[in-house]
Amino acid sequence: MDFFEIDGSYGEGGGQILRSAISLSCITQKPIQINNIRAKRKTPGLSAQHLTSIRILAKICNAEVHGLEIGSTCIKFVPGLIQDQKIIENVGTAGSISLISQVLIPVVSLSRKNLELKIIGGTDVSWSPTIDYTKIVLQEAYSRFGISFSLDVERRGYYPKGNGIVNLNVLPTKKLSTISFTKRETREADIHCTYSKIPSNIIETEVKKISKNLEKANFVTQLKIRNEDAFDKGASILISSKDAKSIIGIDGLLNVKNFKFSDISKSFIECNLGIDSHLADMIVIPAALVDGISVFRVNSITKHLETNLYVTSKITGCKYGIGRIDGGFEIRVEGASGSRI
């Protein structure tokens, strides 16, 4: 059998290239071999979070997988027929449910299937989008493409115990559309904050500081603060905005040692183009598979985005270009809709 080989050390050399390659293997039905997995990380190879993502995808598309174990630096993935599924999974750690969801949603929806997933793990953890970012920002961006999913949080899961519970329901895409995200026009910003086992006055003080900073920059803010129980103490915050030409979200976690949020308001204010830099790499896969050209503008190009554009173009045959504009960059992706099953 011929395998499409990917060097996992390319670009940022982390989990992003693994997630994208396996997702695209399922969507395009191309057997894939990934070498040098997470070669540039302090602890190379597969982690529990990656195992869970691949294991669920293997169930969904009846795949044959070789090398699926903790620490493995090479796997072979042979996708089979994708089916509707109802699944319960436990990451077993505080591994990010958001990152796992990013892998599953486009695969299931673009393959015109259904998924009902109950997953246990981390909802708001370091080096990952918060679950509110996934529920609010990613959901809105995907809906513009025609990808639909719903996400319900039964329980929050912070580091180190995790044990958050999320119910994810992915629906089949009826029609995939191109997108254009060029410049933020709205001056409205929503602030979502959830916390557990921390005095409410501390949280309210921190959130109001961020809100005042936004108001000084002429944003009208709406605050939503919720106490949601978890096994560990913790808190997360998300500032988001959306209009016809932009979707932007900046999130962060509370430092539980000094009970402070970092000042994410500055990052939100400066993020004035079409999308935030994290969302940029998340929308590459659907942009690569739609019939037509999608356009989005960002203030900066991340290693994750560069890596995703490279890997996605290699597997799907899509074309892309990056050009400088005032204050940032414009990315154009011409989809290869014929590579989708």
Active-site amino acid positions: 304
**Residues 6+ positions from 212 with CB-CB distance below 8 Å:** none
263 touches 318 (CB < 8 A): no
User: Angle, to 10 degrees, between the axis of helix 97-110 and the axis of helix 48-60?
Assistant: 20
H, E, C per residue of 228-274: CCECCCEEEEEEEEEECCEEEEEEEECECCCCECCCHHHHHHHCCEC
**Residues 6+ positions from 80 with CB-CB distance below 8 Å:** 61, 62, 63, 64
What residues are paired with 275 via a beta bridge?
247
Strands of the chain (E only): list them.
Answer: 4-7, 32-35, 64-66, 75-78, 85-90, 115-121, 148-155, 164-171, 180-181, 188-196, 220-227, 234-243, 246-253, 293-298, 319-325, 328-334
How far is residue 95's CA from residue 76's CA, in Å, rounded to a whole number? 23
Angle (CA) 124-7-277 rounded to 5° is: 40
How far is residue 275's CA from residue 182's CA, in Å, rounded to a whole number? 8
